[in-house]
Amino acid sequence: MSDQLTIVFFPEAAYGPTNNCVGIGNALRQRGHRVVFAAEASYEGTLEPLGFEEALVSLAEPPEEEQEVGQFWKDFIRDTSPEFRKPTIEQLDTFIKPTWQALLDGAQYCEPQIKGLFEDLQPDVIVEDNVLCFPAVTTAGKPWARIVSCNPLELKDPGIAPVFSGYAQGDRSGWGEFRAEYDRTHRDMWTSYDQWVREQGAQGLPDLEFIHESPYLNMYLYPGEADYTRHNPLAPTWHRLDTCVRTTDATFEMPDALHGDGALVYLSLGSLGSADVDLMKSIVSALADSPHRFIVSRGPQHTEYELADNMWGEEFLPQTSILRMVDLIITHGGNNTTTEGFYFGKPMVALPLFWDQYDNAQRLDETGFGVRIPTYTFEPEQLRGAIDRLLADTDLRSRMTAIGERHRANPGTHKAADLIEQLGRTGAPVTR
């Protein structure tokens, strides 16, 4: 076997999984391996500058006009964003289910493309960071690894809260009702997809799951300090990555407008959350009179609202280069930003919007590493008060600093690269 491995990363068509894979892929590329991204078509031209090969796939018929990166999901979220104001149990039927269906439709559309791609590339390892099964991955005859870069409640267990619920670990009163509603709303869709997966020559799916465990290697992304205590242990092929922070972001110089007194706070609701102009306006208004300074990731609708005098921002920012400089993070609770907060040792205020963001926000709050704020009904003093309390908590800030030092000394990107490299060399299951 050649010293150089060909490793194909196949992330979901969203920034979070893609950025997660970029961090790991860069560590492997620096070791001399050939790293190819099977990326959704709208990512064309964004991964090659980072040193990767691009092998593009389409999840639907090509649009008549050229799309921006991730435009498929920006449009989907824009059209369904009113659902975010509902309780999570009500979102199961009106948001979570349609989201799954859109994902499943895309997987069925691109299956022939993925199969042909693997046949052409003949990878030594396929690394999948997706929430659903693409049969071509499991039938390619190659060792494959699964990454879970969302909250680990996706790895269901009777001892932890239902995924997508945002429910507390200390109060099980609603768990049964939520799980029953998930079954009611998703059972028929799962049955249909399971049948299609079998028709493609893959093994049937686990009950009410849309993806298999890999028999070779599985990794999930979450800091040990906030991880869940399970009733049933995960299989030996599962490995936790405390964090997985990319090093490919551009450097950042502090703007002159932000030099001065007051704590420095980073505000990002992700590319999708920041597209909610009314929400961004309400946050800006609530923080306009704060004594603190704010760096704002303004997102795709950045021309539709103005920042206050104590703020500076741009449409896109090199997040991982900024987080090391700030004192606190205001986040939507995406798993990448949440774990990056631990990596850099920063307390967080979370305003969740959808998917696993409720779970991350709840976990930050119940473990004391942050505060969960109601995204659409918060009072200005509630948001300002949470920021002030976290900044004043010297014990928490000291603990977070120590956690960050530990994570930076043992980067998850290097651990993941070690595991993937071992799988590529041996072709055998990688156990802990």
Specify the pLDDT at position 2: 60
Is 363 inside any structural domain?
yes
Q: Is residue 235 located within the same domain as residue 289?
A: no
pLDDT in tens, 81-120: 788 889 999 999 999 999 999 999 999 999 999 999 999 9
Q: Which of 236, 220, 218, 216 is nearest to 228 (CA)?
A: 220
Whether the per-residue pLDDT at 333 is higher than 50: the answer is: yes
432 belongs to a structural domain? no
**Does residue 374 form part of some domain?**
yes
What residue numbers bound the domain in which 99 lies? 6-245+411-426
Separation between Cα atoms, residue 316 and residue 151, nearest integer Å: 24
CATH number of the domain where residue 263 is located: 3.40.50.2000
Of all helices (H) and strands (E), which one includes residue 293?
strand 293-297
pLDDT digits (tens, 9 = 90+) for 371-411: 999 999 999 999 999 999 999 999 999 999 999 999 999 99
- How far is it, in rounded angstroms, from Cα 409 to Cα 243? 11
Interatomic CA distance for residues 392 and 221, integer angstroms: 29
- Whether residue 154 is found in the same domain as residue 14: yes
Do residue 23 and residue 155 come from a single domain? yes
414's tokens: 């290097």
Q: Which residue has the tokens 């704002």?
A: 296
Predicted local distance difference test score (pLDDT) of residue 75: 66
8 Å CB contact between 217 and 424 = no
Predicted model pTM:
0.92
> Does residue 370 belong to any structural domain of this protein?
yes
Domain tally, the chain: 2
**Would residue 401 count as lying in a domain?**
yes
Please give the C-alpha separations between residue 127 and each of 121, 138, 217, 381, in angstroms, as whole numbers: 13, 11, 9, 45
Residue 239 lies in a domain: yes
The pLDDT > 70 percentage for the chain reads 96
Same-domain status, 43 and 170: yes
Q: What is the pLDDT of residue 411?
A: 94
